[in-house]
Chain A
Amino acid sequence: MDLLTLSLIGGLLALDGTSVGQFMVSRPMVAGVLTGWLVGDPVIGLLIGGILELYFISIFPVGGAEFPEGGPPTVVAVAVGTTMPGPAGVAFGVALALLLSRVGSVSIRLLRRATGRLVPDPVRSGVTPARVVWAHMAGVGLDLVRGFLLTLTGIWVGLGIAPQAAGAWPLGMPGTLTLLAIGASIPAGAFVGSLGGWRKRGVLFMAGIIGFLLASIVL
């Protein structure tokens, strides 16, 4: 799969994140599998996307809050991660995606500033139908370009570092997954804390653990 096609997919997923539809195709799990299919390894795509999904679980884009972006960074993570051996690819892909998700967040902030200058201001200037449509579609177009560039740059930089990083990862898959699971436990705790806290939800959380643990042992 070539760089430009993957970057275009990154751009389209960026649109799904906020500007168009929000059908959740841009969720890390979906973006991971989609990219995995395109590069020939949907299982690794699901693994990387699923891990990232856990890191994103406690992020609620309420009001005008800034939040890390999931879609394009996951495309980068899977596209780059699948070029490396299993555990190194997963670790490097996740690290790259976490960093790029923050870069994506900053780029969204800049996009919103730029769009603020484009949309008609009913207090200061005239609002014409042409201006409304132009400003709105320009906002959508800028978001597409932003996602495209973020993915393109991420893959380009990632592929440049990947050959050096591939041999440097000392852990096997169990050690890698343990490390990433410990990291994911922080947003998991934040998720329970945000949804009513332990007094209200602790019993349900424990019931889930015990029930599914027993099921996995028995079945």
Chain B
Amino acid sequence: MRTGGTFGKVSVFLRSFLIQGSWNNRTMIGGGFVFALLPFLRRVFKGDEEGFQKALHRHSEHFNAHPYFSSLALGAACRMEEEAEDPEEIRRFKSAVRGPLGSLGDAVVWVGWRPALVLGALTLALAGAPPGVTVAFFLIGYNVGHLTLRIWGFKAGLERGKRVGDSVRAARFPKIADTLAAAGVFLLGGLVGLAFGKALDVFSWALLLLALTGGVWGIWLGSLVGQKGWRWSFWAVFATLGVVFLAGWFG
């Protein structure tokens, strides 16, 4: 069996941190995928220039996945190249995994893990933690999960090759994503409750009533508009702040 060696695999893993460096609308992270595999492919196809060129071509094609979960596809691609798998089989594998690796990563990391940690850190800050502790809590907590996911994914890909789907199914990511989403919603409620509790001591009743009324309307509006909610709040708040500044300027 041809081999990319330990150095080649370590290089692929380290380069996977840059996989989105040439993100574009045509090949998405295809350029990053082949960039990450390059040192490994050089070793696997040592003395076989034609094979090396073909491998470069097939791995620079369109590919997309969540950046952390792409380590899983990279690991599996390494295994398949070492086993001299049929190139069409490698293409089919990459086409098959890009959708699931994208949606799983979005659900587990962007929708679950990151907001939960952000809201946990903000709750900590509101409870009186100094800025350094707040940031350390978030960065350490977040990156323990982040690096674990990358390392697990790359190892699973290397070990299982094209059967890496079994490892993904065994990890029960949808269940993890649902639990993290629930934790995020609970912590968001906690943050609102804690902020209101703190404001009781400092704010006037008129401001508390305004915050309560405006907040309820805002939450209702946000839940109606869903994913587009940030656009509404960005422009609405920007315009409101601008109007208040102008009112102060002329008043």
Chain A interface residues toward B at CB < 8 A: 18-25, 27, 29-30, 33-34, 36-37, 42-43, 45-46, 50, 53-64, 68, 91-92, 94-95, 98-99, 101-102, 112-113, 115-116, 118-122, 127-129, 132-133, 135-140, 143, 164-165, 167-171, 174-175, 177-198, 201, 204-217
Q: Is B61 an interface residue (CB 8 A)?
A: yes
Bound CA span A98–B216, Å: 22
Q: Is B247 an interface residue (CB 8 A)?
A: yes
Instruction: Evaluate contact between B237 and A98: CB separation under 8 angstroms.
Output: yes
Instruction: Evaluate contact between B244 and A169: CB separation under 8 angstroms.
Output: yes
Q: Is B51 an interface residue (CB 8 A)?
A: no
Q: Which one of A57, A128, A137, A211 lies within 8 Å of B188 (CB-CB)?
A: A57
Bound CA span A113–B24, Å: 6
Bound CA span A76–B38, Å: 38
Bound CA span A198–B214, Å: 18
In the assembled complex, the CB of A29 is this many whole angstroms from the nearest CB of chain B, namely 6
Besides A18-B23, A183-B218, A201-B185, 15 other CB < 8 A contacts? A23-B139, A64-B64, A95-B241, A113-B24, A118-B22, A120-B60, A135-B31, A136-B32, A138-B22, A174-B199, A175-B207, A192-B222, A192-B223, A195-B184, A201-B181
Q: Is B95 an interface residue (CB 8 A)?
A: no
Q: Are A182 and B215 also in contact (CB < 8 A) when A189-B220, A189-B221, A208-B185 are?
A: yes
Residues of B within 8 A of A127 (CB): 34, 53, 56-57, 60
Instruction: Evaluate contact between A192 and B22: CB separation under 8 angstroms.
Output: no
Range, interface on chain B: 35 or more
Which chain A residue shows the least CB distance to B198? A216
Q: Which one of B23, B142, B185, B193 lies within 8 Å of A191 (CB-CB)?
A: B185
Chain B interface residues toward A at CB < 8 A: 17-18, 20-28, 30-32, 34-35, 38, 42, 53, 56-58, 60-61, 64, 67-68, 102-103, 106, 110-111, 114-115, 118-119, 121-123, 125, 131-132, 134-135, 138-139, 142-143, 146, 181-182, 184-200, 202-204, 207, 210-211, 214-230, 232-234, 236-238, 240-242, 244-249, 251
Residues of A within 8 A of B122 (CB): 29, 50, 53-54
Interface centre among B67, B218, B230 (most CB of A within 10 A): B230
Q: Are A136 and B35 also in contact (CB < 8 A) when A118-B22, A213-B194 are?
A: yes
Instruction: Evaluate contact between A91 and B244: CB separation under 8 angstroms.
Output: yes
Instruction: Evaluate contact between B21 and A19: CB separation under 8 angstroms.
Output: yes
Instruction: Evaluate contact between B233 and A36: CB separation under 8 angstroms.
Output: no
In the assembled complex, the CB of B70 is this many whole angstroms from the nearest CB of chain A, namely 11
Residues of B within 8 A of A22 (CB): 20, 67-68, 146
Residues of A within 8 A of B247 (CB): 170
Interface centre among B20, B106, B139, B241 (most CB of A within 10 A): B241
Closest 9 A/B residue pairs (Cβ)? A208-B189, A189-B222, A190-B229, A216-B197, A185-B218, A182-B214, A139-B22, A183-B237, A212-B193
Residues of A within 8 A of B35 (CB): 132-133, 136
Q: Which one of B118, B203, B248 lies within 8 Å of A57 (CB-CB)?
A: B118
Q: List 12 A-B contacts (CB under 8 A).
A: A122-B60, A127-B60, A128-B56, A132-B31, A170-B247, A171-B244, A174-B203, A185-B214, A190-B226, A208-B191, A209-B193, A212-B193
Instruction: Evaluate contact between B143 and A24: CB separation under 8 angstroms.
Output: yes
